[in-house]
Amino acid sequence: MKYGSKISTELSFDQAVERAKAALKEQGFGVLCEIDVAKTMREKIGAEMEPYVILGSCNPNFAYQALRHEPELGLLLPCNVVVARRGDRTEIMAIDAGVMLGVTGNDAIQPVAAEVDARLRAVLAAIDAVTA
C-alpha cells in the first residue's frame, strides 16, 4: 500500500474490530467515529458488500501538537483504521501518517507524523500477534 499498512488475519471480523479498538487504546488513541460502510451502502444504494468498517481514531496529544503547527490540519483528521472482511480472511489497514500529513508540506509536523505512524504500525503488530 502506498498510503498505509495492512495485515491479514484469521480473526473474525467482529474479533478484529474489537482487537483494533483495544490496540488503538493501548497506543493512546480514542475512536471518535465508527462508520459501517457495508451497512451504509446497503441502506443508501442497495449495494451489498462484505463487512467493512472505518474507525476514525485520534491521539489527542499528537493532534494538538500538529494543529499548533498547522491549524488547517483538521481537514486530514482523524487517522483512519479500516477493518474489512475479504473472503475467509479479515484485513486491518492503517493510514500512513507521514504520507497523509506530508501533503501539508510543513516540516514542523513530520516528527509528530512519524510518531503517529509508529503507533499505528504498533496497533497492527499487536493485532497480528494475537494470531501468531
Query: What is the rounded distance in angstroms from the CA atom of residue 31 to the CA atom of residue 39?
Result: 19
Q: How far is it, in rounded angstroms, from Cα 56 to Cα 80?
A: 5
| Residues 50-73 pLDDT 10s | 999 999 999 999 999 999 999 999
Quick one: pLDDT band at residue 130, thresholds 50, 70, 90? confident
- Over residues 66-109, the pLDDT tens digits come to 999 999 999 999 999 999 999 999 999 999 999 999 999 999 99
Which of 82, 74, 84 lies closest to 56, judged by CA? 82
Q: Which amino acid is at 37?
A: V
Would you kindly state where each structural domain of the chain is located, as residue ranges? 4-130
Which set of grid coordinates corresponds to residue 71?
491549524
Mean pLDDT of the chain: 96
**Fold of the domain spanning 4-130:** TATA-Binding Protein (3.30.310)
* Cβ-contact 25, 1 below 8 angstroms: no
Per-residue model confidence (pLDDT) at position 29: 98
36, β-bridge pairs:
53
Contact (Cβ atoms closer than 8 angstroms) between residue 31 and residue 24: yes
Residue 132 has pLDDT above 70, yes or no: no
User: What is the C-alpha radius of gyration for the chain, rounded to an integer number of angstroms?
Assistant: 15
